[in-house]
Amino acid sequence: MTNPEIHTPVLLDRCVELLAPALHRDGAVVVDATEGMGGHSEALLERFPSVRLIGLDRDTDALRIAGDRLARFGDRVHLVHTVYDGITGALASAGVDRVDGILFDLGVSSLQLDEADRGFAYAQDAPLDMRMDQTAGTTAADIVATYSEGNLRRIFERYGEEKLAGRYARAIIEARGRAPLTRSGELVDVLVAATPAAVQRERSGHPAKRVFQALRIEVNAELAVLERALPAALDALNVGGRIVVMSYQSLEDRLVKRVFADASASTAPSGLPVELPEHAPRFRLLVRGAELASDEERERNPRAKPVRLRAAERVREAM
């Protein structure tokens, strides 16, 4: 099992800094909606001694590691096995209605990438699984074995933004007709063989990179879950509460950007001479655009390279 001490949380200091103004009051509650191995949670609990933390994760291995790591904080920690669109139910299970801070660190976790037998990494041969919650759901092998050519092409285009989606879908259909594709190495071989040599020379990334991303998103319904989770998270914040979201690919970041833009915009009809209180924005943005990791952090922690951070603060109740 991966040692949590070797995991370096992305943008740790910046996340703590952004959440800090909402967490100084006695009895403040913060939600780590993507608990992982507990690195961000540990820092928040250490920095704010009166804060209670509710940690969510669909990965039982991650929850076990986080539970051990955070055990010294006792009843200040409440961990819940759930996907982050279950945030409302998770709060209810902890006896909480509203919270003061929420953190999302989206995408595949270091634990999932580092455990070869989870099947997330195209560089390591493993069972073609990719489930973040290994207790339930459809595997990547199931999708590769049962989806039609059209559906494979659709998810490769939509979730992987893959220009060779049609070519790869056809190659998978042909290959599975000869033998089942049950391992990540087998799928990588099919994708590499289907990639023209000229494209392989031109591309900076591995031919399998975007297809693996698409399969992972499909297996875990990541975008659909996020689309439900963000509004629920915003609704759960007290006035003065803050939310920080870190995304690692453009589809997630565009969704976060849209939800935050809507929440921070006036709803006053065009041409209204005076903005009525009920039309005032409910949130204000805390950073301009999407923040990136510093060059120093990107060098120190390669997993920080693609991160895009956005943050907002609740400034009024809904009317």
**Which residue in 258, 309, 313, 267 sits closest to 288, CA to CA?**
309
185 is an annotated ligand-binding site residue: no
134 is an annotated ligand-binding site residue: no
Please give the Cα distance from 155 to 209 (Å, whole number): 14
Burial 152-180 (b: 16+ CB within 10 A, else e): bbbbbbebbebebbebbbebbeebbeeee
Strands 308-314 vs 52-57: parallel, antiparallel or unpaired: unpaired
84 is an annotated ligand-binding site residue: yes
DSSP state of 150: H
The angle formed by the CA atoms of residues 289, 291 and 83, to the nearest 5 degrees, is 95
39 is an annotated ligand-binding site residue: yes
Sequence-distant (6+) residues with CB within 8 A of 176 are 144, 145
Is 55 in a helix, a strand, or coil?
strand
59 is an annotated ligand-binding site residue: no
Question: CB–CB of 23/51 below 8 Å?
Answer: yes
Which residue do the tokens 């994760």 mark?
57
Please give the Cα distance from 202 to 292 (Å, whole number): 26
Please give the Cα distance from 145 to 118 (Å, whole number): 18
Provide the annotated binding site for S-adenosyl-L-methionine: 38-40, 57, 84, 105, 112
Provide the annotated binding site: 38-40, 57, 84, 105, 112
